[in-house]
Chain A
Amino acid sequence: MIRLENLVKDYGTVRAVDHIDFNINDGEILGFLGPNGAGKSTTLKMITCYLSPTEGNIHVGEANVIDDSLEIRKKIGYLPEQNPLYAEMIVYDYLKFVAEVRRIPDFKNRLKEIIDLCGLHGVVNKTVQTLSKGYKQRVGLAQAILHDPEILILDEPTSGLDPNQIVEIRELIKKLGKEKTLIISSHILQEVQAVCDRIVIINKGKIVADGSADQLKSGFNKKMSVTIQADADEEALKLMVTNLGNMNLTKVKMISATLTEAVVEFDRQLDRRPEIFNYIKNNGFTLYELHREDISLEDVFRNLTIEGGKK
């Protein structure tokens, strides 16, 4: 378990991280989300022992970053935001250097596994500077996982990649996340939503939200809103809302000669879509569409991180 305890980091007079306090459980995939300059990278740099905290401490298992920095560094694989590659080196030599420093016993076999896993066939004998950005990112990932670390920390692993490369790297991350504690920072919401069990949103050095994507959304909005399309008229749908009770009709409108669309809202705790379906069916109408208009994580993010965001 990783425990961030009252963590503070000052750069001169600027407070980049302001009393952050949370735990990361073993095997968890944590998405660390925030706008640029929120303190994500700084926090990750403190976990990886690149920077020392101004106040507070970080515990990894029994060890902590102030007293047992070298022990912790052995357990962590880290891909910084600025991919740390030596441009003139051949990919194989680079990975070999990392493997030697990481004291990997059976380097040849391990490298074969990593090349398979990261899809590096065909580039191992090239110099790093000739690779495309996507391949460079994979070499960076290979570097981070070479010593099979318990904890993997990836700082904006897909930034600057094209959509195909993003999908590839994301697949790779998903594969890796099955066995490891994984922390990914990002400002791309779909990415975090796609791979992470848990999301921590940070803004101006402070945690503003913490939970699964669903929890964050429901914490933000207690209502569920559902769009209905049926071959009933407006009156019939209004009647349905009154009959079912405890729901609000926010919109109702004829959208074609036969179809009417209505948007209703009810408490998120109780999913009432089956009731709606049955009511429409039992009253001799046909349901064309019934779908949940969910608040997106984007809305949550924007509201939490934009100054004076409306709640």
Chain B
Amino acid sequence: MNFAQLISKKETNAYFDSPSAYIFLVVFLLFSGWFFASPLFLANSADMRTLFNMIPILFLFFVPVITMGLLARERSSGTIELLATFPLTEVQIIMGKFWAALKLISIGLLFTLLHLLTIIILGTNIDYGAIFCGYIGLLMVGAVYASIGIFASSLSNNQIVAFIISFAIIFVLYMLQYSLFFIPAAFAGFFQYISIGYHYSNMARGVIDTRNLIYFLSLITIFLRLAIAVLEIRKWK
């Protein structure tokens, strides 16, 4: 196993050794089940659209919770000193943490495939391509949120502070496209382009455009790089 995998394994074990992973999964499935079942029964519509629209909002609350401790807790308990004096680079530490968060998010998404199964049984004319794109989109959104959460967690040794910072960044980035009417027309295009919601809505509709993928991958890279920089700067302070 390489070093990033070792860190990732440690974090995954930590998630599942404590109740946090189970609580995350149960509550996430409860909410996503609600958003799936209500249109199914109330509107008699067997599709994933509502679910796909709601999961990014659920992630807005859930992902910061699973990432807030990743570095903040290492700092408050002093174990960062162990990691930082191991023969590991900051890149390996951050990548390991990122993989662990992404794994947990993917497990959560994997459980929502149960809803897909319901649709396959009940529905007709299922657009598998669109659903596949939607899942890729959700994975991207989850990864972006996780990278933002890890960056926020690197800034503070207080988990609550880390949560609030990541929540605020994600909220602004996601909601930008819904507040375009506040923004002068000249900038509207730009603000729409940097909004997570804009890029995700394309994918949720079943279109994978390289522009959307590049946008997501750049955001992930930027925030992980920032987190790495925060760890590196600590040595010089």
Contacts and interface: CB of A to CB of B under 8 A. Distances in A.
Contacts of B3: 101
Interface residues of A, number: 31
A48 interface: yes
Contact of A50 (B10, B79, B81, B88): B81
Contacts of A12: 237
Interface string A153-169: 00000000000000000
B78 A82 contact: yes
Interface of A: 11-12, 45, 48-52, 54, 70-71, 73-74, 76, 78, 80, 82-89, 93, 97-98, 100-102, 143
Interface stretch (B13-21, B156-164, B172-180, B189-197): B13-21
Interface string B64-82: 0000000000000111111
B89 interface: yes
A84 B17 contact: no
28 contacts: A49-B84, A50-B84, A50-B85, A50-B235, A51-B235, A54-B236, A70-B87, A70-B89, A73-B85, A73-B86, A78-B85, A80-B78, A80-B85, A82-B81, A83-B78, A84-B78, A84-B79, A84-B81, A84-B82, A85-B77, A85-B79, A86-B77, A88-B17, A89-B17, A93-B13, A101-B3, A101-B88, A102-B86
Nearest to A93: B13
Interface of B: 1, 3, 6, 10, 13-14, 17-18, 77-82, 84-89, 235-237
Nearest to B86: A101
Given A73-B87, A97-B10, A143 B82 contact: yes
A52 B88 contact: no
Given A52-B235, A84-B82, A101 B6 contact: yes
A200 B94 CA distance: 38
